[in-house]
Each structure stands twice: as C-alpha cells, then as structure tokens.
C-alpha cells in the first residue's frame, strides 16, 4: 500500500464504536496506512455521564485518545467515522464536530477525501441505515468520495448485510449481537484501498 493517511473518528457512549474504531485502525495499519485514532468531544453534562456506569467506563477507557481536530481531517486522505444512532441520526457529538468544519469546507479542504462510516443501535431496525445515510449527506456537501462496503465480501452478510457501512445491534447489557469484526476490517481495508487509488490517480 502507498502511504495513505487515515483518520478514524469515533464517538462512543458504551464502548461499541470505540471497539469498532480500534478494529478499523488495526486493519488499516496492517495494510500499510498511517492511522490516527480520534474521538470527538463529549457534550453531555458530567452529571449525566457520571450517573451511567457504562458511559463513565467508556470516558475512562478513552481518556488518552486525542480529540479530533480540523487539522486531523486536513491531514487525512481518508476518514472512517464510527458513531451510534440517535433517533435515526448520528449522535449530536459527531454532528457538532462535522458542523464545525465549515472553514475546511469553504477552503476546499474536504474535497476528494475518501470517507466511510459505521454505526450501532439497540435493535436491528433502530435507525442504523438512516444514520449512515444522514452522515453521508454531509459528506456529499463536502465533495468527499463515499466508500461503502456494498456487498463486496461475504463477511458482510454475517454482520447483518448493511451495504452502507458496518452496523451492529447492541443488547441491553451493552454487548454486540452480531459478529462484525471481520466486516469492520473489510470496510477499513476497502476504504484505504480506494484512497490509494484516488491518491495515485491525482499524482
């Protein structure tokens, strides 16, 4: 692989999207990409976070992960977003991060970034596809190149068969219902590969 630079940007309340982001990072690095694993800022009040053991544990587990910045996006050739579903849309923490990139967008710095996204919800039809589509709508405004997994590998069916991006159901105990590790890794490899094509074609 050429020196593709990948930003894996996640928001995670219960740890699911953090884990998916780590799998994506692991696979992208295995293909030769330079990867930055990044979280978006938490917007919820400390009192709310502290009252939820799982949420509090995730904040602690991710305390050393750098917060994503506009500079990270400008640096990256490709971006993988991982974010939970909130009523069929991305979590507000990720939405704010995207909304803050107006300066990059206005200066043409988001054009031709290769992007892909992953998500989670508490039931299979809890807005997983709608969340990815809502995120991709913003990416169209950015002039980005959207790299979905489609049905490019059989591992996607084992993960529920979402062609827009890997999505996973999380049970009441915070555990992933489907086995999505292989699908995440396929999506990451595909995103890096497409970014490599774009990079080579633009030289």
Q: Which residues of the chain have pLDDT under 70?
A: 1-2, 202-203
- For the stretch 95-122, pLDDT in tens is 999 999 999 999 999 999 999 999 999 8
Residue 203, pLDDT score: 62
Q: What gap in Å lies between CA 104 and CA 56, rounded to an integer?
A: 32
Residue 182, pLDDT score: 96
- For 11-113, strand residue ranges (E) read 34-39, 78-86, 89-90
Residue 36, pLDDT score: 98
For the stretch 63-67, contacts whose Cβ atoms lie closer than 8 Å and that sit 24 or more positions apart, written own/partner, are 65/18, 65/37, 65/38, 65/39, 66/36, 66/37, 66/38, 66/39, 67/38, 67/39, 67/40, 67/41
Q: What gap in Å lies between CA 12 and CA 19, rounded to an integer?
A: 9
Q: Is the pTM of this model over 0.85?
A: yes
For the chain, what are the domain ranges? Answer: 5-201
Backbone angles phi, psi at 69, to 5 degrees: -130, 170
Q: What is the pairing mode between strands 78-86 and 5-10?
A: parallel
Q: Based on the number of CB atoms within 10 Å of its own CB, is 119 exposed (0-12), middle (13-18) or buried (19 or more)?
A: buried
Q: Do the Cβ atoms of 138 and 98 come closer than 8 Å?
A: yes
- For the stretch 16-37, pLDDT in tens is 999 999 999 999 999 999 999 9
Q: Do the Cβ atoms of 116 and 147 come closer than 8 Å?
A: yes
Tokens of 44: 């919820």
Right CATH for 5-201 from 2.40.30.170, 3.40.50.360, 3.40.50.150, 1.10.1240.10:
3.40.50.360
């Amino acid at each position: 692989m050429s020196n593709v630079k990948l930003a894996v940007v996640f928001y995670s309340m219960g740890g699911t999207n953090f884990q998916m982001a780590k799998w994506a990072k692991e696979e992208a690095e295995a293909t030769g990409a330079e990867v930055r694993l990044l979280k978006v800022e938490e917007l919820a009040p400390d009192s709310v976070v502290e009252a939820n053991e799982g949420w509090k544990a995730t904040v602690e587990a991710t305390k050393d992960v750098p917060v994503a910045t506009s500079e990270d996006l400008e640096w990256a050739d490709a971006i993988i977003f991982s974010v939970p579903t909130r009523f069929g849309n991305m979590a507000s923490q990720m939405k704010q991060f995207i909304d803050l990139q107006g300066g990059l967008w206005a200066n043409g710095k988001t054009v031709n970034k290769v992007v892909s996204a992953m998500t989670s919800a508490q039931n299979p039809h809890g807005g997983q596809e709608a969340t990815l589509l809502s995120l991709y709508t913003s990416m169209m405004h950015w002039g980005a190149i959207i790299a979905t997994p489609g049905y490019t590998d059989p591992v996607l069916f084992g993960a529920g068969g979402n062609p827009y991006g890997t999505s996973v159901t999380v049970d009441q105990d915070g555990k992933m219902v489907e086995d999505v590790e292989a699908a995440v890794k396929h999506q990451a490899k595909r995103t890096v590969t497409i970014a490599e094509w774009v990079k080579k074609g633009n030289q």
